[in-house]
């Protein structure tokens, strides 16, 4: 029987630091497995900074919980995603999806796509006009993201993989033209993340 998954908003304003640790650890385990322990720690630190330094109106966080975890599996949180505002002079409600992670044991079973869909629906309901991400077209292309050029929408920092810059409009209208550089939140402003 396929595992049942609950997709929910993850409230970062809560003072329950135990939950924050669990949220951050999903990123650690996922990236440590795919790219090594050092990268796992780097992304975990990035996530901790997102949670502690970003104004609540500039961040959305969502998680996927296993609805029926086996009794020998204490960690019920199996996936997590963060979206943060990209400030721009055109006044477009624009958010960037990054990073996201699914526990290695759960990957390839649709949790990631389900989590992104849940997040996009929630942002759309809150009036967000478009989402960009910096990632793999194979995964994000399945959800409607399309590659974009810097001429159309410039990234806040110089990217090491320009082909990974993707966007998705959340309204029926095309994404408005945004001239000039966009600006990201402080947590991800360091060029090592780009």
Residues in contact with ligand COA by CB under 6 A are 30-31, 34, 98-102, 107-113, 135-136, 138-139, 142
In the complex with ligand COA, which residue's Cβ is closer, 35 or 89?
35
Give the residue nearest to ligand COA (CB): 112
Least distance to ligand COA, CB of residue 106, Å: 6
Least distance to ligand COA, CB of residue 10, Å: 15
In the complex with ligand COA, which residue's Cβ is closer, 45 or 176?
45
Contact 117, 90 (CB under 8 A): no
Least distance to ligand COA, CB of residue 143, Å: 9
Least distance to ligand COA, CB of residue 105, Å: 10
d(CA 65, CA 76) in angstroms, rounded, equals 5
Chain position carrying tokens 């309204």: 171
Least distance to ligand COA, CB of residue 90, Å: 26
Least distance to ligand COA, CB of residue 89, Å: 27
Q: Distances in Å between the alpha carbon of 61 and those of 1, 34, 119, 135?
A: 28, 22, 8, 18
């Amino acid at each position: 029987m396929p595992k049942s998954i609950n997709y929910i908003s993850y409230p970062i304003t809560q003072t329950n630091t135990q939950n924050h640790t669990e949220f951050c650890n999903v990123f650690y385990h996922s990236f440590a497995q795919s790219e090594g322990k050092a990268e796992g720690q780097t992304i975990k630190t990035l996530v901790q900074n997102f949670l502690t330094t970003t104004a609540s109106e500039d961040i959305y966080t969502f998680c996927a919980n296993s609805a029926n975890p086996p009794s020998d599996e204490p960690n019920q949180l199996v996936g997590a995603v963060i979206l943060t505002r990209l400030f721009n002079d055109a006044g477009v409600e624009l958010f960037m999806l990054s990073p996201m992670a699914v526990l290695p044991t759960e990957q390839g079973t649709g949790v990631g796509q389900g989590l992104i869909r849940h997040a996009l629906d929630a942002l759309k309901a809150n009036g967000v006009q478009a989402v960009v991400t910096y990632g793999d077209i194979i995964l994000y292309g399945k959800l409607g993201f399309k590659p974009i050029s810097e001429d159309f929408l410039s990234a806040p920092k110089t990217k090491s993989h320009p082909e990974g810059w993707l966007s998705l409009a959340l309204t029926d209208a095309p994404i408005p033209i945004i001239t000039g550089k966009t600006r990201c939140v402080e947590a991800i402003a360091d060029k090592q993340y780009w």
